[in-house]
Amino acid sequence: MNSKTIKILATAVVLVGALGGLMYTSLAEGTEYYKHVDEVMADPAPWHGKKLQLHGYVVERSIKRKPDTLEYIFQLENNGHVVNARYTGIVPDTFKDNSETVIKGRFADDGTFMVEPGGVMAKCPSKYEASKTPRAPGT
């Protein structure tokens, strides 16, 4: 091989290596798992330290707010499994008892799910359910 071919191959190897390294680091940091509460709480240990989106329903009367702050503690439930969560920030208007909710964050050492800023997303069931009243054709 001549020196020009060696330089081209070396450049290609460096570029592929750099691109692979960049993809690995960006994907490793940005990986986020979407799971239901019961899937995670059946065996929570493997999920500690991983970024998660947890889907469940707010346990009735579990939402507690520290007076004069935006600090909330609450519980999310799915299929009989419950996770304790802590969040500081503004919650959506639809965040209420029994609301379908997705929270983003990580588990703390004590097993509490620490929700990241802006990490509470609650759905409003009435917006997504079909109307129970039959409609006349053409209306």
| SS (HEC) of the chain | CCHHHHHHHHHHHHHHHHHHHHHHHHHHHHCCEEEEHHHHHCCCHHHCCCCEEEEEEECCCCCEECCCCCEEEEEEEECCEEEEEEEECCCCCCCCCCCEEEEEEEECCCCCEEEEEEEEEECCHHHHCCCCCCCCCCC
- pLDDT number for residue 126: 55
One-letter amino acid of 74: F
pLDDT of residue 33: 92
Place of tokens 């919650």: 91
Report the pLDDT value the prediction gives residue 29, as an integer from 0 to 100: 57
The residue ranges of every structural domain in the chain are 1-26, 32-127
pLDDT number for residue 128: 47
Ranges of residues in the chain with a pLDDT under 70 are: 24-30, 125-139
Residue 25's pLDDT is what? 65
List pLDDT tens digits, range 42-77.
Answer: 999 999 989 999 999 999 999 999 999 999 999 999
CATH class of 32-127: mainly beta
